[in-house]
Structure 1
């Protein structure tokens, strides 16, 4: 291996090595080490969610913190213009998602109460693996996956902020501008580049897509249950039982697709930081976060699809005509450029096939 290759490998994993080596040590800023502090917070939230979920039998405790913990991790890393922008964007994402979870009944008093994700009961009853019916196995599963994996994942998706922090700190040290304050770097538009701008625009775009999708789903479910409680006749997609209009006519899970895209986009900030500090490096260890997030959505999405298909057999036809996370090219182009008459005629296709 050449010297340059060795330097590149070290560069990719140096922030991770620093995170592990500095957990119990102080950095140059004695009172501010975002690596150790963020990992300590992660461990605290992991143990908290495990204990609370075990005691209350409500296994959606991680969901209550899903939109909050990445904000804290990003705020700990603010040290220059780039990390400030990153923290601001994560805060926008988190506040919107927190509100959406609140209006769905996710937050109640006492704080460990609130709506539980229906999938956990199904998984606990053996929908995923029969062995999870065993109480001891379920407790282990709760600690390792529900609390452990998901809390670690929430730390990992925010680690591009740690990479950006590290590169900024190295630059400050090289330039001799190190400040006693964790926020002591020079805040200047010259500290950010084109890739930062692209990442910012894409991040906000996907947050907007996620917000629209959540709103459409919330409106649909609210109206569906209003009709059911009022004993009104259900027609169209209300009769089918699931939303197929708006963004749900393009993707089966547009909000989940947007969530994954948000964190893939967030990773671009770490790429910009690496390019800023060490030249063009398109891959670094913080990519682990979005990769594991995509894996989580792949498996949880399949579970949700199977549950929905069992509840609504007509959902099979919807699966064939609409992509899950990526649009089917031909139907998508038809929706964009097809005539309005054709679009109107297609709205009732699932209902017609169900009647047949």
Structure 2
């Protein structure tokens, strides 16, 4: 029995619980529920192309992507005789840190959106149409960088098991990063078109890596 495999399985289960809970409370499992970006994409490309994307990407492509970024488990299975080492412990610790970070970011976004809905329903003014506080003060997509961070560090388990720093399972976090960047750009184009102040937020706050906030240049 491999302690590394058990540890990785536990981390993936924790990730899945957080993801399922957050998706459910936003109405993802309700009839007709969908991410707002899908509606925008459907309007942009038309119903025919959208259905082609459903058949070729949304269904099989997403499953392939999940298989790819969890594929480092395969390396751990191949090298079960290799015991846990310091790199495993580092990877597990980083995974948990990123998991907690994403959970906090999701909760901050949820709190903001719920408060915004209550104000709009009561006819009260909304001071800020999008969240810029909490973790969102340091980067525009803290949940994205934490999600990516989990799967970047998950790859380290494969390195710890095999002793090889570069192998095919790296395709998982590379593909996931590419998808997140594309998704981020789509979401930001929607926000910039909807909220006039969003471009100022983009100009002063990093997208993913929480570096020092930039000073906005004058006209």
Does 2:197 match 1:314?
yes
Q: Is the 8 A contact 1:321 1:328 kept in 2?
A: no
Q: TM-score, normalised by structure 1?
A: 0.58
Distance apart, 1:134 and its partner CA: 5.5
Name the structure 2 match of 1:179: none
Q: The residue matched to 1:125 in structure 2 has which SS?
A: helix
Does 2:209 match 1:326?
yes
Q: The residue matched to 2:59 in structure 1 has which SS?
A: helix
Greater RCO between the two (CA within 8 Å, min separation 6)? 2
Match of 1:138 among 29, 50, 64: 50
Match of 2:10 among 79, 82, 88: 88
Counterpart CA distance in 2 for 1:198 and 1:147 is 34
Match of 1:267 among 151, 155, 161: 155
Match of 1:305 among 161, 174, 188: 188
Does 2:203 match 1:290?
no
Structure (1 or 2) with the larger CA radius of gyration: 1
> Does the C-alpha gap of structure 1 residues 92 and 114 become closer, same or farther in structure 2, counting only changes over 3 Å?
farther
Distance apart, 1:145 and its partner CA: 1.4
Aligned residues: 216
Name the structure 1 match of 2:141: 253
Distance apart, 1:148 and its partner CA: 2.1
Counterpart CA distance in 2 for 1:245 and 1:307 is 20
Distance apart, 1:234 and its partner CA: 2.4
Q: Is the 8 A contact 2:65 2:176 kept in 1?
A: yes
Does 2:73 match 1:161?
yes
Q: The residue matched to 1:191 in structure 2 has which SS?
A: coil
Counterpart CA distance in 1 for 2:210 and 2:9 is 30
Distance apart, 1:322 and its partner CA: 0.5
Match of 1:212 among 97, 100, 104: 104
C-alpha distance after superposition, 1:290-343 (max 9, x if no partner): 0000000011100000000000011000001101111233x28x9xxxxxxxxx
Counterpart CA distance in 2 for 1:145 and 1:117 is 15
Counterpart CA distance in 2 for 1:202 and 1:192 is 16
Gaps of 5+ in 1: 1-78, 127-131, 172-189, 276-280, 335-348, 350-356
Counterpart CA distance in 2 for 1:95 and 1:320 is 35
Match of 2:86 among 184, 194, 205: 194
Counterpart CA distance in 1 for 2:160 and 2:203 is 39
Distance apart, 1:114 and its partner CA: 4.9
Distance apart, 1:233 and its partner CA: 2.7
Counterpart CA distance in 1 for 2:79 and 2:73 is 10
Counterpart CA distance in 2 for 1:263 and 1:114 is 30
Counterpart CA distance in 1 for 2:56 and 2:116 is 37
Match of 1:226 among 118, 130, 140: 118
Q: Is the 8 A contact 2:88 2:156 kept in 1?
A: yes
CA RMSD, 1 decimal: 1.8
Q: The residue matched to 1:323 in structure 2 has which SS?
A: coil
Q: Is the 8 A contact 1:257 1:325 kept in 2?
A: yes
